[in-house]
Every structure is written in C-alpha cells, then in structure tokens.
Chains A and B, each alone.
Chain A
C-alpha cells in the first residue's frame, strides 16, 4: 500500500512535469491542498505563540492546506511522548512531530526505522551550510540527516530576581561557593534562595545536569554520556554533594509545583534564583514580568548545555507533500525568525536577524557562538530515552532521600543498562 502510494506520487510528479512542459515556460505550481497534522507539546505562553507564528508563515505560503494542531500539554513533552509512542507503534503517525534532536530522535525513532531521511531536502535547501556543524552532527545518523531543528535552547541558565538582588546588594554567583554565600544571605532575609518545582518528575534531573556540567567541566561532562568519564568518578560524588547542599535552600512546596508554578516566586519577589532552561525567558515575557536577570549556572560559565527541538518526516505520513512544505518553512530563515523570538529560543541557523530578538536571546547567541556546547540528557540530546528515564528516577529519589552513595550507584547502573558503561 505504501509502495503503491509512493509510485502514485512518482507518477503524479511525472504527469505534472509533462503538463508543465507542455504548458510552456511559467506554469503555476499546483497549490497544495488537504491537511497537515503537526504534533507537539507547545500549549503554553510563548511556546504556543511561536508555533502559531510558524503556522501563519505556512498558511501564507500554502493557503489551501488545513493545519491540524495536535498538541498534548506537559513540560518537556512528558505526556506528549506517551501519546506519540502509541500512535507511532499503532501505525497512525502524525504528519510531523516535535522531537528533541539527538539521542531521543536517533535512538528512539531513526534506529527503529520509523523515519524518512531528509538528506536530499538538506541539499536542495542549502541547510547543510545554514546550520552549524554541531547541530548537523546531532541530527545525523549513518551519513543521513533525519530532522529539521527549529531552535536551540540553553538548559543551564540561572534566573534571578533583579529586585531581590539589588535590594540585598548581591551579585549573581559564578561558582558554587558564591552560590551558597548568596543563598545564605537570601535565606537570612526570609527569601527562598533557590526556587524549584518538581511535580512532573523531570525538573530535578534538569537542575542536576547543570550541576554536573558546572562541577565536572565540559569535557568530563561530555564523557559521562559517551562512556569516557566513569559515573563512579569522585567528581560525580562532588556534584551530588553540591546538589544535596543546594536542596537545603529550595522552597518547601516544590513537589506541589511545576517549574512555571515555582517561577511565580521570582515574579512575586519571594524567591531569589531559579535554575531552568531558557524557555523561562518566554514564560516571563508572557507574564509581562521584566525584573529578571540571568547568568550561567554556577561553575558553568563558558559551557552551553544545549537542546534542540526539531521536526521530522515519519514513514507513512498521510500528507507527505504538505510535510515537506512544512519542513521547508521550519528550516527557512523566515520561519526560524518568526518562531524563535516568541518561543524564547535562538535559531538553529547561523544567519538570524538579530534585531528581532530580545536582550536575553542576543546574549545567548553570543554564548552559543563561543561557549563549549554540551548536550542535555533530560531533554533528549545526550542520552536515549530509556537512560534518561532511569537518570530522572535516580535523581527524583535523591531529592527525597539525599543518599549520595546510593544515587551514584543508581546512576552508574543506568549507564550500564544503557549499554554505554561496562
């Protein structure tokens, strides 16, 4: 059936080509029609606005296509991925879906043979030159490209309330020692030093990946995910101890809150700092909150813990032509510059129109160009989903029990189970 449809497509192309040839020099291209189902977890604030901006670009170019916006709410795609798995295994793939570039895309979908390669599209659109090498590396597998990255997010950002910091004459901390000094000063004032929301289970793992990067440095941190650095390393113990110390400074109601619920502390001036990815920037904007500052997380200046959202072409997509048109919009400068200022991320392309972006994003573009780029496990770039889930669970237990030795053992075991460590 699939083969039949493919040949049908080829035949249609040939026939179209003949008609075009017969009609003379400037034939109007056949206007695409039908539907296009886009699956994502972008439902809130700036994310949804960014997605709608992309839809607007698409609708302007292809007014005949009806876009079906299939979204499933939930941070980091926690719920959406479950729905997606069911649909993919059930043979009902959405036309195109949001997936974190890196191991989440490759290990989950590409290796299993569920995706179509996009190499020819990359060549024809010139994307192999428009995206930097680091980005091309994470979307490729066995010499082919597999998805179109729309953005780059930074995981290791320390957000702080400017008002709280100036009132108490504090500077954003650069090292862990600084961090604990600042935290003590804030605690003495009755302000929550570090706000965290852990309800969805992944947020603590997110903070810990930044603590790992800040404690181990870029190279050793990268090694954790490739098997070059052992999880039994004393530096990992140190990272766990740092994290444990940080947990003494967090809000008591963290397990009742999601990350954005916790962000409310900053907006209300009741919290000092928050470690969360730079989608927080878009969320602050959607709340009309401007009194925030940012810095790299402690110990991680010069390190950019990155993740990227991308879209691909699943095998068996019902509206293949419309998806290709969609991917072209995503990879275009126009599409990326429409999406990213609203989403609060920087474009994956090297040639954005910098004037469209706010101060945070401009600074992120500068860092992206000069920092050491390392991948995020919680957001699918560094590790397979199985490994990331085990890592997330180990850290979730750690937040409650704070047992350094047991957690380090669990993290090592997760690496072994993922067949990366021995």
Chain B
C-alpha cells in the first residue's frame, strides 16, 4: 500500500517537469497566439486591445489568403493521393520477394533523409523551365533530348501548374516513407492468410484487393494523418523551391504568415493565420485521436 502511494508520488514528480514545460511552451503560447490574433497589434509597438474577430474577417477578404487556401487544398489532395498510390505501388512491388530488396528499400527511402530545403533547391533546378533565349534546363532539357519537347512546360512558373509542381517534389520526398509503412504492414500479415486464399483459388490480385488492402487500413489512416499535417503546415519546401510564385500561385498560408508577421510587422494578422493553421490541423487529427482512443477502449 505504502509502495503504491510512493509510486504515485514519484510518477507525478517525474512527469511534472515535462508536463509543465508543455503546458507553458505549447499550450501557453497557443493561448498567447490566440489572444494576439484577436488584438490590434500591427507594428513594433505591442497593442493588445481586443478587437474581436476583425483580423479574421479581414484575412478572409484578402486575395492572397484566398489564393493560399485554394493552393493548400490542391496541394494536400494531390500530395496525399500521389504519395499513397506511389508508396503502395512500391510496397507491393518490393513485397514480391525480389532480389536485393534491401537496396531498393534504401533507395526509395533516401529522399526522406533530406530536409525539405535540400529537396526544394534540387527541384527548383530540375523544374526550372529555362527560356527560349537561354535554352532549356532541368526536366525540360531532358524532354528536349529524348524528343519529347511537347511535354515541356513552365512548371512552377506557370500559374496554372504552380503549387502542383511543388506537390511533385513533396511526393518524391515522402512516397518512400509511405512505402516503408505499407511494407511493414504487409510483412505483419501472416503468410497463412495468403496461403489459405491461394488454396481457395484466389488470384494474386484478389489477395491484394480483398485481404491485404483491407488489413492495411489502419496504416493508410496513419499515413494520411502524418502526410496531411505536413502538407497543411508546409513552408520550407515552398520557401526554398519557389517563393510565393507568380501571382501567389505557389504561396501557402504558412509562407504568408511569415511574410506578413516578420516583413509587414502585422503581428495580429500573422497570429490569425497561425490559429487557422492550428484549427485545420486539429480538424484532421482530433477525429483520429478520438477514433484510436475508442478502438483502444474496445480492445
């Protein structure tokens, strides 16, 4: 009995430092940002007079922010869909017990080891359109050399492509990670299940469609959550690769937040964007947390 009380005390004591730190440095600052977003702080002199939701109202009226929201949705959908499909495809291919699987696994995973800044710089060069006068470069040059000049495009400099070009770079970086997740999931599925299905006369395709994919559902969910929150908060890749782009065609809320806060000194507006970002990530993650909590209780 005494032992368990002592255990309690020590466990509380051990958790307290990090709990307090999180309380102050995470939740405290979220609260502070929320307050600033409702205030009139617009310049180097701190002004915390509350003005209600006026900053938000103005923000949604700002053309740049409307473009940004549109870009975020496009980017998230494209990036999620292509990373999941490519990741799954790579995992299925690697799952065929091919030779030197380890080598391929590493090759596909390597982009993950780079930071988004490096990826951004590399893809800025690769997708640089070049020009008629100075000649093509990067991917366009490749198209020229193999006689596919038709496929050349302005990439991220073309407003109709814009953020989609950034999604290509992000997919290149993250699909290997999705592959690793799926591959781990597939390896966790007992071989007996496949054997049983084969005995029942199922084709390999059927096995993937009706047995493996359904069993991989929790992994898809995790991948969506992980990629989704990266994509909503994306900043570094955009910053290194394109900047805000022609007519803000590659701009994202996080970049706008940085621009307006630290260059325009509109601190309240920046805080409002931060809160909107937080809410959008929360809208993605909270249902997931509730779902996992529930399934854990059921178990």
B133–A385 contact, CB under 8 A? no
CA distance A180 to B87 in the complex (A): 52
Interface size on A, residues (CB 8 A): 45
B42 beta carbon closer than 8 Å to chain A: yes
B264–A390 contact, CB under 8 A? yes
B246–A255 contact, CB under 8 A? yes
B130–A112 contact, CB under 8 A? no
Distance in angstroms from B45 CB to nearest chain A CB is 5
- Stretch from A20-28, A79-87, A152-160, A233-241 that touches the partner: A79-87
Distance in angstroms from B154 CB to nearest chain A CB is 7
A200–B243 contact, CB under 8 A? yes
Q: Looking at the complex, which one of A108, A256, A264 makes contact with B157 (CB distance below 8 Å)?
A: A256
Total CB contacts across the A-B interface at under 8 A: 105
Contact with A along B237-262 (1 / 0, CB 8 A): 00000111111110000000011111
A65 beta carbon closer than 8 Å to chain B: no
Those of A363-393 within 8 Å (CB) of chain B:
384-386, 388-390, 393
Residues of B within 8 A of A388 (CB): 264
A15 beta carbon closer than 8 Å to chain B: no
Those of B246-299 within 8 Å (CB) of chain A:
246-249, 258-266
Residues of A within 8 A of B129 (CB): 252-253, 256
Known contacts A198-B246, A386-B266; 6 additional CB pairs below 8 A are A268-B134, A385-B265, A389-B259, A389-B263, A396-B248, A399-B247
A190 beta carbon closer than 8 Å to chain B: yes
Main secondary structure of the interface of A (DSSP, over half): helix
Residues of A within 8 A of B260 (CB): 389
B245–A255 contact, CB under 8 A? yes
Those of A337-367 within 8 Å (CB) of chain B:
none
Residues of B within 8 A of A112 (CB): 43-45
CA distance A111 to B45 in the complex (A): 8
Residues of B within 8 A of A88 (CB): 44
Beyond A199-B243, A386-B265, A400-B246, whether A265 also contacts B157 by CB under 8 A is: no
CA distance A82 to B249 in the complex (A): 22
Contact with B along A382-422 (1 / 0, CB 8 A): 00111011100100110111000000001000000000000
A positions within 8 Å CB-CB of B: 78, 81-82, 85-86, 88-89, 107-109, 111-114, 190-192, 198-201, 251-256, 264-265, 268, 270-271, 384-386, 388-390, 393, 396-397, 399-401, 410
B132 beta carbon closer than 8 Å to chain A: yes
Can you offer 24 A-B residue contacts whose CB atoms are under 8 A?
Answer: A81-B263, A192-B133, A199-B242, A200-B243, A201-B244, A201-B259, A251-B131, A252-B154, A252-B157, A253-B131, A255-B156, A256-B157, A265-B134, A270-B133, A386-B43, A386-B264, A393-B248, A397-B247, A397-B248, A399-B247, A400-B246, A400-B247, A400-B248, A410-B63
B34 beta carbon closer than 8 Å to chain A: no
A397–B262 contact, CB under 8 A? no
B164 beta carbon closer than 8 Å to chain A: no
CA distance A86 to B159 in the complex (A): 32
Residues of B within 8 A of A264 (CB): 134
Distance in angstroms from A174 CB to nearest chain B CB is 26
Beyond A386-B264, A399-B246, whether A251 also contacts B44 by CB under 8 A is: no
B40 beta carbon closer than 8 Å to chain A: no
CA distance A369 to B154 in the complex (A): 45
Q: Looking at the complex, which one of B159, B242, B264 makes contact with A389 (CB distance below 8 Å)?
A: B264
Beyond A397-B248, A410-B63, whether A386 also contacts B42 by CB under 8 A is: yes
In the complex formed, the residue of A with least CB distance to B159 is A400
Beyond A265-B133, A389-B264, whether A109 also contacts B247 by CB under 8 A is: no
Those of B107-164 within 8 Å (CB) of chain A:
124, 128-134, 154, 156-157, 159
Main secondary structure of the interface of B (DSSP, over half): loop
Residues of A within 8 A of B42 (CB): 386
CA distance A296 to B45 in the complex (A): 39
Beyond A252-B131, A401-B247, A410-B63, whether A385 also contacts B263 by CB under 8 A is: yes
Residues of B within 8 A of A198 (CB): 246
B194 beta carbon closer than 8 Å to chain A: no
Residues of B within 8 A of A107 (CB): 43
Residues of A within 8 A of B244 (CB): 201, 396
B64 beta carbon closer than 8 Å to chain A: yes
Q: Looking at the complex, which one of B246, B249, B262 makes contact with A81 (CB distance below 8 Å)?
A: B262
CA distance A109 to B43 in the complex (A): 9
B245–A85 contact, CB under 8 A? no
In the complex formed, the residue of B with least CB distance to A113 is B45
B157–A254 contact, CB under 8 A? yes
Q: Looking at the complex, which one of B43, B133, B156 makes contact with A271 (CB distance below 8 Å)?
A: B133
In the complex formed, the residue of A with least CB distance to B58 is A417
B262–A85 contact, CB under 8 A? yes
Residues of A within 8 A of B249 (CB): 400
Those of B34-48 within 8 Å (CB) of chain A:
42-45
In the complex formed, the residue of A with least CB distance to B266 is A386
Residues of A within 8 A of B124 (CB): 256
Distance in angstroms from B48 CB to nearest chain A CB is 14
Residues of B within 8 A of A78 (CB): 263
